[in-house]
Amino acid sequence: MKPNHAPEQFLEAAKMLANGNDPERLAEALASWARLVGLPHRVDDDKDDRDMLLAARILEEKLPYYVQDHLGLPTRDYVDAVLIALPQLIEFLEAQVRPPRKGNRPPDSRRRLCAAVCAEAWHHYHGKTEPFSPKLQAACEAYWQRCGHPETSKTGRLKNWEEFLRWAKRENDEEFRENFLNQLNDTTS
């Protein structure tokens, strides 16, 4: 199924998550995250994170000298602004890079993001995240498929979302929650 990121395509999943509270607004928020959840799978999901971290570290080390020595110019305000922000960016990227795993494939980051989006919506409307909830697991599957992916289980076993939902609950990422809630609230304007 080719992904369609129109809010009405996510209304079914939104109804499952919204607990009777304004599923149209939630469908708009789900549509905004669908571009990321719907990305094609890559064998090494973490390569981009590692590459970005390396690039940020190189930029932090070499940018001041490049501007001053290579170009012979005084450091510009925008260079100072970048250098001030880089340590925070590097810290963020370091948190994104997962340690290498032996043997098993790393978890699919798209499924993690799908579970995180659904878990945040569930938490917002139900007051808590419930990884063992069959309704939340079914909402994850509905959202996943609406983002353009095939069924996660040929047998219809939705419990396979539990691992990803437990991960999302453990992460308890305040920055992600804030971004999600801002997106959810922005849909009302």
Q: Give the tens place of pLDDT for each residue, 142-179.
A: 999 999 999 998 777 788 999 999 999 998 778 888 88
Count other Cβ atoms within 10 Å, centred on residue 117.
27
H-assigned helices in the chain: 11-18, 23-37, 47-65, 77-96, 109-126, 134-146, 162-171, 174-186
What is the reported pLDDT for 56? 93
pLDDT of residue 174: 83
CB atoms near residue 19 (< 10 Å) = 16
- pLDDT for 2 equals 43
Q: Which amino acid is at 5?
A: H
Going from the C-alpha of 91 to that of each of 9, 62, 132, the distances in angstroms are 36, 18, 32
The whole-number average pLDDT for the span 8-36 is: 91
pLDDT tens profile 63-119: 877 776 666 666 677 878 888 899 998 888 887 776 665 666 667 888 999 999 999
Q: What is the pLDDT, as a whole number, of residue 1? A: 41
The pLDDT assigned to 41 comes to: 66
Decide if pLDDT at 122 tops 80: yes
